[in-house]
Amino acid sequence: MDEVDDILLKVHKTFDIVGKKWNGMIIYVLMSGPKRFSELHSSIPSLSKRMLNERMKELEEEEVVVRHVTNDRPVRIEYLLTKKGYELGMALEPISKWAIKWIK
């Protein structure tokens, strides 16, 4: 495999991550900081809890999101972007600006 093929595979994988329904919105919401599952769900009300749970597991597997368990009582679970996830969110920011300007 040559360098061009390798780059194409990486770009394709990135579009698979971002293009999967709800992933872009989840990343967008997490750009403002860590969120609990309930906060994520209330930020994207049309997303079912089952689907949110599935997407969070997938984003964790891709190392875009990390699940952080606090030592508080009761135990709190928060989700936050990894460095990889934050940089992906920064790459998506121009799309957000475009959407605000052009989508009615």
Across-strand partners of 36?
78
Cα R_g (the chain), whole angstroms: 15
What CATH code is carried by the domain that includes residue 33? 1.10.10.10
Full residue range of the structural domain in which residue 18 is found: 3-102
pLDDT tens track for 54-95: 999 999 999 999 999 988 888 889 999 999 999 999 999 999
Q: Which of 40, 38, 42 is nearest to 27 (CA)?
A: 40
Beta strands in the chain (DSSP E): 35-36, 65-69, 77-81
Q: Output the pLDDT for position 13.
A: 92
Provide the domain count of the chain: 1
Return the pLDDT at 75.
86
Question: What's the pTM value of the predicted model, to 2 decimals?
Answer: 0.88
**Does position 3 have pLDDT exceeding 90, yes or no?**
no
37, with CB counted inside 10 A (0-12, 13-18, 19+), is middle
